[in-house]
Amino acid sequence: MKKLLILENGAVFAGTGFGGLGACSGEVVFTTGMTGYQQAITDQSYANQILVFTNPLIGNYGVNLNNMEALQPACAGVICHRVARVSNNWRQSATLPDFLKKWAIPGMTGVDTRALTKLLREHGTLKGKVVDADEEPDVEAVVKELQSTPTQTQLAYQVTTKKRYLVPGNGHTVVLVDLGAKESIVRALVERGCNVIVVPANVTPGEINQIHPDGVLLSNGPGDPASLTGVIAMVKQIQERYPLFGICLGHQVLALANGAKTVKMRFGHRGFNHPVRNLQTKQTFFTSQNHGYVIDAASIDPNQIMVTYQEINDGTIEGIAIKNHPAFSVQFHPDAAPGPHDADQLFDQFIQLMGQQKGVANA
């Protein structure tokens, strides 16, 4: 089945359909990761987005239960240059086309993803729609439809868990505020002995107080962080009482709760090769990232927020610490599944911070 990707600026890309049938629409974004297509597809941060893979071949090792970042994918569609005809891995439970078909997610292969990525880098993130070419779609009408469709914002409330649940451990108790949390974050905490209580994005300070956690982790997730006014108000209250660690969207929310502002990036950071510098130690390492918004450096009050990490390529803020509260956050993913594990010690830093605060409380 022939498919077309129509972009809001009028550009059209042709390809062959696979996976789910029918049309899909959303923001068209690209990821530069050479591996980890399953983790990307099941990462809730890609909710309602059409995901373009710059790696020319995906699907060669199929999909398996161990690599799921959520129970089901949230992206709207998948675009690649080539999807593997044959896949093989001892853990494989399904092929990528069958997996996308099961979840009714349309895919396109045979697309000139190099040209598509260059266009997105030049023009910035664009809205797009994947349609059936055999139905001879009215391209001009689709373009007008895309241009008049507003970008969704409060997506974290759509992908969050509907009820709290426990992943037991034998150490610190951590409340994980699910804004679209990756399963790899839960695994990283459990590996360090934490009791992890996952709660919905609309959790209240009172509900967190009833749990009496040793710390709170604000997860990654999709959408505009400034639209999550309820989460921001909650963080303003609990940061005075509990150690906080924010990752990706959680990082942006922590900044907003402390007077900073966020802005939308031209085409975002999505991939596993972003170099970041620790501004205190001057150490540089590579990170896994997936975000379309960033903290506005000009909006930071240096008396309240200290910048701790910075992206080397474009200078964007990659980490902060709150001066008056036991709270810190990073824009990148220290859980890095897949990707470099250079930054996984940040989970140990969070464990240490909870221990220190516990000692102060018991003194």
Phi, psi at 345, each rounded to 5°: -70, -10
Neighbours of 233 (CB within 10 A): 12
CB 38 within 8 A of CB 124: no
What is the three-class DSSP state of 306? strand
Which DSSP string do the residues of 270-291 spell out, in sequence order?
EEEEEEEEETTT--EEEEEEEE
Give the 3-state secondary structure of residue 138: coil
Beta-sheet pairing, 244-247 with 262-278: unpaired
Handedness of CA 250, 252, 255, 256 (dihedral sign): negative
- Helices and strands, number each (H, E), in the chain: 10, 17
**Residue type present at position 284:** T
From 43, 62, 52, select the one nearest 111 (Cα to Cα): 52
Residue 223 region, left (φ>0) first, then alpha (ψ -120 to 50), else beta? left
Cβ pair 39, 64 in contact under 8 A: no
Smallest CA-to-CA distance from 240 within 327, 173, 353 is with 327
Q: Which residues are catalytically annotated? A: 248, 333, 335
